[in-house]
Every structure is written in C-alpha cells, then in structure tokens.
Copies of this chain bind each other. A is one copy, B any other.
Amino acid sequence: MADKKKCLAVVVSQEKITEGIYSMWLQFPEDYNVAGMAVPGQFISMYCGEGSRLLPRPISICEIEPAQRKLRVVYRVAGKGTEEFSGLEEGAQIPVMGPLGNGFTRKSGKAVLIGGGIGIPPMLALAKALKEEGAEVSVVLGYRDGDLFLKKEFEPYADVYVSTEDGSVGTRGNVIDAIRENGLDADTIYACGPMPMLRGVKAYAAEKETEAQISLEERMACGIGACLGCVCNSTDVDSHSHVHNKRVCKDGPVFNAEDVTL
C-alpha cells in the first residue's frame, strides 16, 4: 500500500543547547502525524532546502509527543546540511520522511541505557518510554569533557551516570569504565554512540552474557532500504540480502549486538 510519504514539518522551536549542538522541535501535519507513528530508536530523514544537497540527513528521534504531533531532534552541526538546519527559524518548513527503521525493542527488568556524544539524544525518548512501562532505568552518558548537554533531561526518568574523557565529571574514561565503576548490572543494554564505544559495549555485553541492542550509523542515500548504500556486516547470512549485509536504514538502525560484526 502506497500510504507512506515525505511530508513538510514545521519548526516549532530551535535552540542551541551547547556549542555546535542544536535542539529542534518539529510539528507534523494532522493528516500525517509522524510523531504518532514513531518509537524510540527510529530516525527521520531531514532534507535540505538547498538544491545542491539532494540526499537526506538521517537524524534520530530524541523525544516524542504524539498527541501534539511533535518530535524533537538534537543534532550536531557536522557539515553544510546540519548547518542549514541550524539556521531554520520558528515557523520554517522542512521536508521530512519518517519515522524510519526499527526502534529499540523495550524489555522489562533492569535497563542500562548507554549514550556516547551525539548518540545521547535517542536515549532520551527510550528512557522515558521504559520508565513509563515500569522498567528500572539507569543511563550512562559518555562525554568528552564537562559540557554535559542533555544530562539534566534524563534525571526524571533514570539514575544518571557520567563518564568524561578528560575526567572533569563522573568517571574518567569511557562508558564501560563508568558501568564498572558504578557496578551497574542490566537485563538489557541499549546503546548509541561512536563505533569504538559500540565495540566496547558489544564486548562487555558478551562478557556479561547480557542482551545488548545497539544503534548503528552509516552513510545513506534512500533511507528506506532500496539502494543498499548503508549496509553493515551481519554475523549470519541475512534473510533479505542473502549475503552478510544488513541495511542500517531498514533492518536497523537498532540491531542486536550479536547479529552484527562491528
């Protein structure tokens, strides 16, 4: 059924939350409420107005307000496209496609959420949803330094632990160091962040024999599974591709850590 579409969202607010990182709330049309369809861990494709930039920018969903038809995204200015987004003012329209991909599969019991750097935003929607469902939620946030963007916003939903590379706040080191230092244990681990962190999480989960769901990034062209641009290596032959490849946009971005080779 051809019932999905690219639609125009309205920027309801835009705020620079720290150097180079912006928070934006988008509102969707009544007849196509993307927020009403979204779950934590999914992403949206955001499109540039500038015609020299044709490919979508995949951005994770950070908060979901289905009744208000609103989604929040938190993004880092990484290049020309995100720079363009950061200049959008309240009331501006932006073409969006989504929600895309598969979100986290939320389990009951003890949840440890791990976010590193710009992988932190999607954990917020997840923390909130898990908390509402009665899970016991801890969040470990990995930062470079003492600039702890978004940290406060997690506090209503979770016990929050922090690691910083420079040791200025919390555990000096990475998120795994923080988990060990704080003796956190989990029934399920959920993680998003840079590849070295995800490798660490996968190894830690294997060591502890804990289920880990990790969210991957890859360069995308279509964002919906058609172009095979965004594959990651799958541990087994994948049932769609019939090779050791899974599509991050369609089969992910969230995978069971066991199912992918990082």
Contact = CB atoms under 8 A, between A and B. Distances in A.
Nearest to A80: B51
A19 interface: no
A81 to B, nearest CB: 12
A205 to B, nearest CB: 45
**Residue in A50, A51, A53 with the greatest tally of chain B CB atoms within 10 Å:** A51
The main secondary structure of chain A at its interface with chain B is loop
Copies in the complex: 2
Contacts of A50: 50-51
Interface residues of A, number: 4
Nearest to A50: B51
Nearest to A52: B51
A88 to B, nearest CB: 14
Contacts of A52: 51-52
Contacts of A53: 51
Interface string A10-52: 0000000000000000000000000000000000000000111
A116 to B, nearest CB: 33
Nearest to A53: B51
Contacts of A51: 50-53
A53 B52 CA distance: 9
A157 B53 CA distance: 49
Nearest to A51: B52
A102 B117 CA distance: 58
Interface string A87-110: 000000000000000000000000
A50 B53 CA distance: 10
Interface string A46-66: 000011110000000000000
A148 to B, nearest CB: 37
A212 to B, nearest CB: 42
A141 to B, nearest CB: 37
6 contacts: A50-B50, A50-B51, A51-B51, A51-B52, A51-B53, A52-B52
**6 pairs of A and B residues whose beta carbons are closest in the complex:** A51-B52, A50-B51, A52-B52, A51-B51, A50-B50, A51-B53
